[in-house]
Amino acid sequence: MSAAAQQDVASATDPQALVREDLRDFAGYRSARSESLQGRIWLNANESPWRNDADGDGTLRRYPDPQPQALRNALADLYGCAPEQLLAGRGSDEGIDLLVRAVCRPGGDAILISTPTFGMYAVSARLHGTRVVDVPLREDAQGWQCDFAAVATAVRRDGVKLVFLCSPGNPTGALMPLSAIAALARQLDGQALVVVDEAYQEYANGPSAITLLPAHRNVVVLRTLSKAHALAAARIGSVIADPELIEVLRRCQAPYPLPVACVEQALQALAPAARAATGEHIATVLGERESLRSALAAAPGVRRAYASSANFVLVRFDDAQAAFDRLLSAGVVVRDMRAAPGLGDALRISIGTPEQNRQVIALLAGGAA
């Protein structure tokens, strides 16, 4: 075994050691659906014995399975992990909230973020009474870079228990090197969980951080069906991690997090034909991404259009308000990023259909859409 491989295997501290001490033996709420029982007449959950007129087949009066095995199996197959490594929930947002609640003591521990980044990490922490430590991304000629050495130093100095790395980044579009994430996980073994938010991974070129899990038990990966799989309204996200940590998070989760209708829609979206169609849509986005970025970079008044590994492009303008207004006046809504740290001149533009992208380019180039 190589020295690097031996180092990887050494990063294997039980992640339960990082869970709040008062929650390590927490049993959570055991709902009526938590028991694996079979029967013909169900009188164990105080449900109505009559169906609602809006319920065609009579199933909506029954509480849903908290973690439907068919969904866990389908998601595990999609992401290349074992079902016991995966917890399904209400989008990635619930995963973020569960991690903060399970790991960080209110008023004691801290999370670490690298701005500009997804705002929900800080929101969840502050709602939980948890400190937020910011090690900002560095901008250079290549784009946005994470200062991994500074992150490791801040974890040890500031009592950080959760490190949130958004890769590909939102709103930057930047992809973090897996080798650097693995090295950070090794350094922080037994000190912090390294949470890699891969909401946009389907648009990235390269392997997922899920591949790090066998050697790094303190790595956690967040995934979602909201972006590439076009199910934002269904709210299906996944936490993928060491099975023992997944079991802790499951005990901290609400009793019935997954509505039946959303589960059914997710299973349809994960069927082979639907996955093939999703692959075609992703290919279209990838084909449009660089051409859109290049055209935006050449548009008058654009300071910089960043390379992206996601399904959007971050753009700096001489006058971001004028660009925003010009687009909006033509019915094109983009994300104003000027309130984000370091982005006082930026807009984030999602990649649309080829025709929608042409309209954006024409509008920002000063022509008629």
Instruction: Please say which residue of 241, 270, 299 terminates a domain.
Output: 270
The residue with tokens 């649309």 is 352
Residue-level pLDDT at 17: 86
| pLDDT tens digits, 207-226 | 999 999 999 999 999 999 99
Model pLDDT, residue 28: 77
Supply the pLDDT for residue 336: 98
User: For position 145, what pLDDT does the model report?
Assistant: 97
* CATH code, domain with 136: 3.40.640.10
Q: 3-state DSSP helix/strand/coil percent for the chain, to nearest 5?
A: 40, 15, 45
Question: Are 228 and 260 in a shared domain?
Answer: yes
Check which CATH number belongs to the domain holding 298 and give it: 3.90.1150.10
Per-residue DSSP letters for 98-111? HHHHHHPPTTT-EE
Look at residue 61 and tell me if it is in a domain: no
Give the Å distances, CA to CA, from 239 to 64, 141, 153, 221, 246: 20, 34, 26, 6, 8
pLDDT for res 97:
97
Residues 220 and 307 occupy one common structural domain? no
Residue 314 reports pLDDT greater than 50: yes
pLDDT band at 61 (very low <50, low <70, confident <90, very high): confident
The reply to whether 277 falls in a domain is yes
Among the three residues 270, 289, 310, which one is the final residue of a domain in this structure? 270
- 121 and 256 both lie in a single domain: yes
What's the rounded Cα separation, in Å, for the pair 81 and 48? 38
| 84 token code pair | 């016991």
Same structural domain, 223 and 238: yes
Q: What is the mean pLDDT of residues 347-363?
A: 97
Q: Same structural domain for residues 233 and 311?
A: no
Q: Is 223 domain-assigned? A: yes
Number of domains in the chain: 2
| 104 lies in some domain | yes
Q: Contact 226/94 with Cβ under 8 angstroms? A: no
Range of the domain at 342: 273-364
User: Phi/psi of residue 148, each to 5°?
Assistant: -65, -35
pLDDT for residue 55 is more than 90: no
Q: Is residue 59 part of a domain?
A: no
Compute the average pLDDT of residues 145-174.
98
pLDDT for 58: 75
Does some domain include residue 47?
A: no
- pLDDT tens, 71-115? 999 999 999 999 999 999 999 999 999 999 999 999 999 999 999
**Same domain assignment for residues 101 and 16:** yes
Q: Is residue 346, in this structure, part of any structural domain at all?
A: yes
Does a structural domain hold residue 258?
yes
Mean of the per-residue pLDDT values for the chain?
93
Pair (306, 348) in one structural domain? yes
Average pLDDT over residues 116-128: 97
pLDDT exceeds 60 at position 1: no
Between these two residues, 49 and 189, which has the higher pLDDT value? 189
**Rounded Cα–Cα distance for residues 302 and 324 (Å):** 12
Banded pLDDT at 10 (limits 50, 70, 90) = very low
Return the pLDDT at 11.
Answer: 53
**Does position 149 have pLDDT exceeding 60, yes or no?**
yes
The amino acid that residue 192 corresponds to is: A
Between residues 47 and 319, which one has the greater pLDDT?
A: 319
Do 296 and 332 have their domain in common?
A: yes
Q: What is the pLDDT of residues 273-304, one digit of tens each?
A: 999 999 999 999 999 999 999 999 999 999 99
- pLDDT of 251-281, one tens digit each? 999 999 999 999 999 999 999 999 999 999 9
Mark whether 192 and 71 lie in a shared domain: yes
Return the pLDDT at 22: 81
Last residue of a domain, one of 270, 304, 329: 270
**266/278 same-domain check:** no
Residues 101 and 248 both lie in one domain: yes
Helices (H), the chain: 3-10, 69-79, 91-103, 120-127, 148-158, 178-187, 243-252, 260-269, 272-297, 320-329, 354-364
Residues 115 and 11 in one domain: yes
